[in-house]
Amino acid sequence: MNKFILILLWLGSMMLAQATTIENYQPYLQPGLDKARLQLADIEPLIKQYAADPALKVTELGRSVENRPIYLLQLGQGEKRVLAWSQMHGDEHTATAALFDFLNYTLAPEQQAWREQWFSEITLYIVPMLNPDGAARNSRVNAQGIDINRDALALQSPEGRLLMQLARRIQPHYGFNLHDQNRFHAAGDAPNPATISLLAPAYNAAREINDSRRRAMQLIAHVKPWLDRQIPDHLGRYNDTWSPRSFGDTFASMGISTVLVEAGGHRNDDNRQVARRLNFQLYVAWINAIVSGSYRDAALSDYEAIPFNNSGGLKDLILNKLQVRVADTEATLDIGVNFHTEGDRYARIHELGDLSGYGAYHQFDVSGLRYQQGRAYPLTEPLLLDDQRYQQLLRLGYTHFSGDAK
């Protein structure tokens, strides 16, 4: 008996070690998905390729409002049922890319022994893009204008109905609700982006902890030490106020151990590839933990120790200690700038004053520099304007032109 227990403990530790030491990620990285947005056309050819693999079953779960296919991928034949779905908000695609990395890893020839091990224990169901219409528009909502993740009770969206019907049919033990979050969320009081944020959502308004929610908390607590090493001070936790219209909370009330994963920003990482890699590694770690049961040893205190997200705790750019004179009043202040990255790309001053409580993706101490209103460059003759000349004029304080060059 003691030997049997030791073998189980050894197996659990070895499987966790496998997940936490996957540093050679590049061979499994699916090409073509490192971009600012993903649409059905980006992943449908991959799904059709996977359909030829006998280890993976591909079916059409249903159709979106605009008749786009929504696919269901199934792996394994074990008794423990796991459901993962991504991009129910069409503009949140990081996890979708990570799911295809995970599939590449799972189906790689060198992973046969690992794959066969968990296939015998788990049946994994994946919906890799629940909202293809929103993805086509790079929009949070579906073609009806409905936020699918606020439709768990009314079920007025076909996409929401498909997800609920699937959950009721397969009755998963575990659910992974995969999203992207606002890049301005900070990890607690740290001046850093929350690159990964997690939550075991409440199943009732009292936010009580029953067995299924405890398991979700322990799955998160199980990976916290590893995440702390991978992204120190970049891990956050969502508030667990009960939201019965949301699928995560509703699934939790159905007895599904549900984990919310939010992929956030990281410095010098425009397309969230750091969060993509971490998502991939988390999927492997959680598969291993569910197989071995090792997550049940995790303390809830580790879950509670994850700091709450600080919403709006970051700016894109902060200029510290700039001298500004307005009328006859001198001031030293900070300038916070945020970038609009969709459509017409532009920057806008978001806040002025003391920004010492904020972090930023880019931050500069401009002590000794003074704000000067932009000057008009007088045009009296034609001007050849190349990049070098343009930057020279900006450095001289010219921001616009006046006059007639005829």
Instruction: Give the containing element (helix H, strand E) for 401.
Output: strand 398-403
Q: Set out the domains of the chain in order of their start, with CATH numbers.
A: 2-310 (3.40.630.10), 314-371 (no CATH), 375-406 (no CATH)
Q: How far apart are CA 221 and CA 223, in angstroms?
A: 6
Q: Give this prediction's pTM.
A: 0.90
Contact (Cβ atoms closer than 8 angstroms) between residue 36 and residue 93: no
Contact (Cβ atoms closer than 8 angstroms) between residue 310 and residue 197: no
Which has more pLDDT, 3 or 118?
A: 118
Q: What are phi and psi for residue 377, nearest 5 degrees?
A: -90, 120
Helix count (H) and strand count (E) of the chain?
A: 11, 16
Q: What is the pLDDT of residues 355-388, one digit of tens each?
A: 999 999 999 999 999 888 888 988 888 888 899 9
Please list the residues that pair with 123 across neighbouring strands: 81
Q: What are phi and psi for residue 192, nearest 5 degrees?
A: -125, 150
Q: What is the pLDDT of residues 115-137, one digit of tens each?
A: 999 999 999 999 999 999 999 99
Question: Would you say residue 15 has pLDDT above 70?
Answer: no
Q: How far apart are CA 263 and CA 265, in angstroms?
A: 7
Q: Which pLDDT score, from 0 to 100, does residue 277 have? A: 97
Count, residues in the chain: 406
Contact (Cβ atoms closer than 8 angstroms) between residue 105 and residue 90: no
Q: Is 31 exposed, middle or buried (0-12, 13-18, 19+ CB in 10 A)?
A: exposed
Q: How many CB atoms lie within 10 A of CB 150?
A: 16
Q: What is the pLDDT of residues 276-312, one digit of tens each?
A: 999 999 999 999 999 999 999 999 999 999 999 999 9
**Interacting residues of 242 by C-beta distance below 8 A, sequence separation 6+:** 201, 202, 203, 204, 205, 207, 249
Question: Would you say residue 30 has pLDDT above 70?
Answer: yes
Q: How far apart are CA 236 and CA 264, in angstroms?
A: 10
Q: Which pLDDT score, from 0 to 100, does residue 343 have? A: 65
Q: Residue 249 to residues 67, 102, 204, 245, 275: CA-CA distances in angstroms?
A: 28, 26, 8, 8, 23
3-state secondary structure 203-233: CCCCCCCCHHHHHHHHHHHHHHHHHHHHCCC
309-310/346-353 β-pairing = unpaired
In this prediction, residue 23 has a pLDDT band, given cuts at 50, 70 and 90, of low
Please list the residues that pair with 99 across neighbouring strands: none
220-234, 284-298, 328-342: the lowest-pLDDT one: 328-342
Q: Is 136 left (phi over 0), alpha (psi -120 to 50) or beta?
A: alpha
Q: How far apart are CA 158 and CA 170, in angstroms?
A: 18
Q: What is the pLDDT of residues 58-105, one digit of tens each?
A: 999 999 999 999 999 999 999 999 999 999 999 999 999 999 999 999
In this prediction, residue 1 has a pLDDT band, given cuts at 50, 70 and 90, of very low
